[in-house]
Chains A and B, each alone.
Chain A
Amino acid sequence: MADSEMKRGLAQVMYRFGPESLFDYGRRGLSMKVSRWETNKISSLDANYVAEQIATHASSFRNDDEDPWVDLTVDDVDFRRPNRVVGSLYPLTMYCQNRSCHRVVSKKEPSHFVYTNGECPECSDELRQLAFVLVHDCGNMMSINPQPCSNPDHGYDHIYLNKQNINDPLSWHFYCGECGDFCGNMSKRCTKCHKERVYFRPIASNSVYYSQGDVLVNLPIDQRYSDDIEYGESWARILMAAHLGDLDDVVEEEGKTYEELGRMTTDERDAKRREKQIEDLKEEVGAEQVEKMIESGVDIEDVFDVAEDTIKGSTREEVVEENRERVKLPSQRGGDSDVDQAYSTLSHELFTYLRSTQGYEGNLDATDGMERQPTPLSLDGLLEQEDFLESNPEAEVYPEKLQKVNIASAWVVDNLPLLNYTFGFTRDRPERSRTDLQPFPHPRGEDSTPVYVDQTPSEAIVLQVDRSAIIEWLDEKGALRGVERPDTDDESDLKEWFLENVDTNELRDHYSPIEDDLTREVYTLLHSMSHALMRTASGQCGLDSNSISEYVMPSVPAIFLYASSTEHFSLGGMHTLFKTRIHPWVDETIADVQQCVYDPVCEHEDGACHACLHMSEVACESANGNLDRRYLVGGDRGRIPAFWESGYV
Chain B
Amino acid sequence: MTDDHDAICTNFAVVRQFDDLDRVVAIRDTISALNHSDVTRADVDRGLETPLTTREAAALFTCLQKNGAATQSATDERGFWAYTFEVDPLEVDRVLTQQAAVIASDGRSPQTGKDEVVEFVATLPGGFEPTSARVRSIPDIASTIRNQVFNADSSVRIANPYFDPSLELVSDLASLPRRGVETQLLTRETADEEGDTRTTLNKMWDLIDEDNRDNFEVRDLYRWDESQGSQAFATHAKIVIVDCRVCYVGSANLTDTSLSTNFEFGVVVEGDIVEDAATVFDEVFEYSYPVDLPI
Contacts and interface: CB of A to CB of B under 8 A. Distances in A.
A573 B16 contact: no
Interface in B28-85: 55, 58-59, 61-63, 65-66, 71-73, 75-81, 83
Nearest to B82: A584
B238 interface: no
Contacts of A397: 62, 65-66, 80
A588 B146 contact: no
Contact of B16 (A389, A414, A567, A572): A389
Contacts of B169: 567, 569, 571
Interface in A363-396: 386, 389-394, 396
A648 interface: yes
A386 B12 CA distance: 12
A414 B146 CA distance: 12
B171 A544 contact: yes
Contacts of A583: 75, 79-80, 83
B106 to A, nearest CB: 15
Interface string A558-601: 00000101011111110110011101100110010000000000
Given A397-B66, A569-B260, A584-B80, A391 B153 contact: yes
Most buried by A among B80, B167, B171: B80
A397 B171 CA distance: 27
Most buried by B among A389, A414, A588: A389
A393 B59 contact: yes
Contact of B175 (A9, A386, A391, A573): A573
B156 interface: no
B234 interface: no
A591 B58 contact: no
Nearest to B177: A542
B172 A393 contact: no
Secondary structure at chain A's binding surface: helix, strand, loop or mixed? helix
A215 interface: no
Most buried by B among A9, A569, A591: A569
Contacts of A271: none
B79 A581 contact: yes
Contacts of B179: 540, 576, 580-581
A393 B16 contact: yes
Contacts of A393: 13, 16-17, 55, 58-59, 62-63
B131 interface: no
A327 interface: no
Nearest to B123: A569
B295 to A, nearest CB: 20
Given A393-B17, A393-B55, A396-B13, A588 B79 contact: no
B220 to A, nearest CB: 23
A388 to B, nearest CB: 9
B11 interface: yes
B275 interface: no
A575 to B, nearest CB: 5
Interface string B165-183: 0111101111110110000
B259 interface: yes
Contact of A572 (B17, B65, B146): B146
Interface band, chain A: 35 or more
A389 B17 CA distance: 9
Contacts of B16: 386, 389-390, 393
Interface string A419-438: 00000000000000000000
A567 B207 contact: no
B196 interface: no
A646 interface: no
Given A544-B171, A563-B168, A571 B142 contact: yes
A567 B62 contact: no
A541 interface: yes
Given A390-B16, A569-B256, A591-B75, A541 B175 contact: yes
A571 B80 contact: no
B80 A543 contact: no
A649 B167 CA distance: 35
A151 interface: no
B81 A394 contact: yes
Contacts of B147: 572, 575
B224 interface: no
Interface in A621-635: none
A543 B168 contact: yes
Interface in B164-222: 166-169, 171-176, 178-179, 207
A396 B63 CA distance: 9
A376 to B, nearest CB: 15
A571 B13 contact: no
A575 B150 contact: yes
B145 interface: yes
Contact of A576 (B168, B172, B260): B172
A394 B153 contact: no
A393 B16 CA distance: 9
A403 B71 CA distance: 16
A547 interface: yes
Nearest to B168: A565
B12 to A, nearest CB: 10
A640 B284 CA distance: 61
Interface string A3-30: 0000001000000000000000000000
A584 B175 contact: no
Contact of B168 (A539, A571, A648, A649): A571
B149 interface: yes
Contacts of B256: 9, 567-569
Nearest to B178: A542
B172 A571 contact: yes
Nearest to A386: B16
A580 B54 CA distance: 12
B257 to A, nearest CB: 9
A252 B90 CA distance: 51
Contacts of B145: 571
Interface in A339-358: none
A580 B172 CA distance: 14
B151 interface: yes
Contact of B62 (A396, A547, A576): A396
A569 B13 contact: no
B172 A394 contact: no
Contacts of A392: 55, 58
A42 to B, nearest CB: 15
Contacts of A396: 11, 13, 62, 66
Nearest to A564: B168
Given A393-B55, A568-B260, A569-B142, A576 B175 contact: yes
A159 to B, nearest CB: 39
B136 to A, nearest CB: 8
A649 B11 CA distance: 16
Most buried by A among B59, B79, B150, B171: B150
A588 B62 contact: no
A568 B261 CA distance: 9
Given A542-B175, A569-B260, A391 B61 contact: no
B225 to A, nearest CB: 30
Nearest to B150: A576
A573 B259 CA distance: 16
A390 B16 CA distance: 6
Contact of B75 (A565, A568, A581, A588): A588
Contacts of A649: 72
Contacts of A588: 75, 77
Given A390-B16, A567-B168, 16 more contacts: A393-B63, A542-B173, A543-B168, A544-B171, A569-B142, A569-B168, A570-B146, A571-B145, A571-B149, A571-B173, A573-B172, A580-B79, A581-B179, A584-B78, A591-B75, A648-B72
Closest 6 CB pairs of A and B: A542-B175, A393-B59, A571-B172, A572-B146, A583-B80, A648-B72
16 contacts: A389-B13, A390-B55, A396-B11, A396-B62, A397-B66, A542-B175, A569-B168, A569-B169, A569-B256, A571-B142, A571-B146, A571-B169, A575-B146, A575-B150, A576-B172, A579-B150
